[in-house]
Structure 1
Amino acid sequence: MNSAKDQQMATCTENIRRILDHDLVWSLRSSPTAILAAVITGLLFMIAIGAPFIAPQNPFDLASVSLLDSELPPAWMADGTSHYIFGTDTQGRDIFSLVIYGLRISLMVGFLSVAMSLLIGVSLGLWSGYAGGWADTIIMRAADVKLSFPTILVAIMLNGVAKTLLPGEVFQQSVLLILVFSIGISGWVPYARVVRGLAMVEKEKEYVQAARLARRSASAIAISHVLPNTLGPIAVIATINLALAILTEATLSFLGVGMPPTEPSLGTLVRIGNEYMLSGLWWIVIFPSLMLVVLILAVNLFGDWLRDVFNPKLR
C-alpha cells in the first residue's frame, strides 16, 4: 500500500518537474516583466469573476444605493469614510464596486469578441490555406476589403443599424451582444492571414501527404493535423487582440455607443466621470482610468512575452 502511494508521489513529482523544465515555463521564470504581467492579469481576472463576492456593494441594485452618500471623496481624504474606499459618484454608488463590475463587463466583452474573431478567422484561414483556388481568392479579397474599414467605424455603423431596427427596450438589453458582434466581426483578419500562411506550409509536408494517402477527408486533415501547428501564433494574436478589444470597447463606451450607465464598463465609467472632472470630483474618472490602463498594459506585456517565446528567430 505504501509502495503504491510512494510510486504515485514519485510520478506526481516527476510530472511537476517536467512542467517546470518546459521551455515555456522556463522562459516565463526568466522574465520578471512577464511574471508580473501574468500575476496582474490573473489577479484581475479573478477579481472580475468574483465581483459579486468581492465588491462591498452591488451598484446595479438601486436598493443598496443612497443619494445621501453621493459625491463622497476617497477614504483617506477629510470628508471620506472607510465604507467607501474610492469614494462615491453623484448617485451614491461605490466607485470601488463600480470599478470591479466595470472590469467584469470589459473583460466579458473582450473575451467574447476575441472568441468570435478567433472562430471566424481560424476557420476561414484553414479553408483558404488548405483548399486554395477560388476559396483562397475570395477570402483574401474579403480580408483586404475589411482592412479598409476601421473597427470603430464598423462598430458605430452596426450600433446605428441595430438602434434603428430594434425596439428601444430590446436594443438596451442587446447592447452587450451588439458590442461583441461589432468588435468580433472586425478582428478576424489577422487570424485568417496567419493561419492561411501556416496551412499552406503544413499541407505540403510528408505527414499531411501520408494522411491523404490514408484517405482521410480534407476537413479531418485540416483540423487534426494542420490546426495544432498554428496554435502558438493564434495564442499570441488572441492575447494581443484581447487588449485591443477591451480598448475598443472602452473607446466606444466613451463615445456613447457602448455599454449604458446602468451597466457600465470601464469605458462608460471614464465617460461619466469625465463630465464631473471640472467639478472637483476627480475620483469618479481617475480610478476607472487607472484600472483600464493597468489591465491593458498587463495583457499587452504578457502578449509581448508570448510573441517572443513563439518567435523562431529568437530561439
Structure 2
Amino acid sequence: MPAATPPIDAELASTVDLDALRIDLTHEFIKKQRAAAAPSSPLDDLRANGAFSIDEYTASTARSTADVPLLVCRPAGAVGRLPVLFYLHGGGMVMGHARQNLDYVLELAQEVRAAVISVEYRLAPEHPHPAALEDCLTGLTWAATHAMDLAIDPERIVLLGLSGGGALAGGLSLFLRDHLDLRPVGQMLVCPMLDDRNDTPSAAQLAHLGGWNPATNAAAWNHVLGGRAGAPDIPSYAAPARAEDVSGLPPTYLEVGAVEMLRDEVVTFADRIWRACGDAELHVFPGGFHGFDFFVPTARLSRDARTARLNWLRRTLAAPRRRTGGSAG
C-alpha cells in the first residue's frame, strides 16, 4: 500500500507525474544533464526585445580563488542607482547555470525596477564546498565595489536563491553577518536546500515520491560535501540549518511546498529566526512539490506563489534601511 502523503494539488498533478520523475544523481547523469541544459540561445532572447540590457563581466577580488562570470541585467531606460536581485540559480549545486530561470527573475526585476546579477558559480562534485560559496562572495563583493560603475545601490541588495541556490544564499548571509560589513537588505529562499542531514519527518514521509526526494537530496549533498553529508562538523556556511545562531540575518522570505521533502527544514529555519527575534515570512503552499511553479507556471498555485514573492520584494525594497535581527535567546 502506498505511503500516505499530503495531496498534490490537482492542477499540478494533472500535468506532472512525479512517479515518473526520478533523479539518480550519478556523475554520468549530472554530465548528461549539464550537456542537455547548457544555454544554447543568445542573450538577446533574455533581453526581451530591448526590455533589459545584459552585460557579461568577470569578477575577481584579492581574496577570490577563481574568476567568476556574472550576468549584469538592467531594465532599459532605468536611471539612477538601482536595487539588485543577486540571483543564485538552482540545480542542487551540481547542475544549472546563470541563465537558468533568469527570464522569470527578470520579470520580478521589471516589476520592482531592480537590476539583476546572476552568478555562474562552480559546481560540485568537481568543485566541492566552499568553491560555490566563494564564487558567490566574490561576485557580491565585486559588485559592491563597482556599484558606481554598475549604477546599483549596494545597500539595497536582495539575495535570491532557488533550491541549491537557496543553500548558497543562506550560507552567504551567515558569512556576511559574521565576517563582512556588507549586509543584504533581504534574502529570498525559494524551496531552499538548508540541511544536509536528510532526517526530517517530511523527508521520511515523502521518500517514496519522485522528483527531488531524499535519495536525490542526499546524493547532491554528498557531491557538495565530498561524501561527508550528515557528518557532525559540517559548517553552517555550507548547510545553513547547521547554524547555532540565526540572529542578525536580513529579513528573510522562505517558501516551500507541502508535498516536498524540504518542507520541515524550511519551516524549522523560519521558526528559529522568529525565536531569535528576527524577521521571516514563511509560505508553505498546499499541494506544491519541489519547483512546482517552474514545472507549471500557469497553475493557480504557481501564480499565488509568484504573487507572494513579488509582494515581499516590493515591501522589502520599499522599507527604510533598518537594523537586522536580534540576539538569540
Q: Which has the larger radius of gyration?
A: 1
Q: TM-score, normalised by structure 2?
A: 0.22
Structure scoring higher RCO (CA < 8 A, sep ≥ 6) equals 1
Greater share of strand residues, 1 or 2?
A: 2
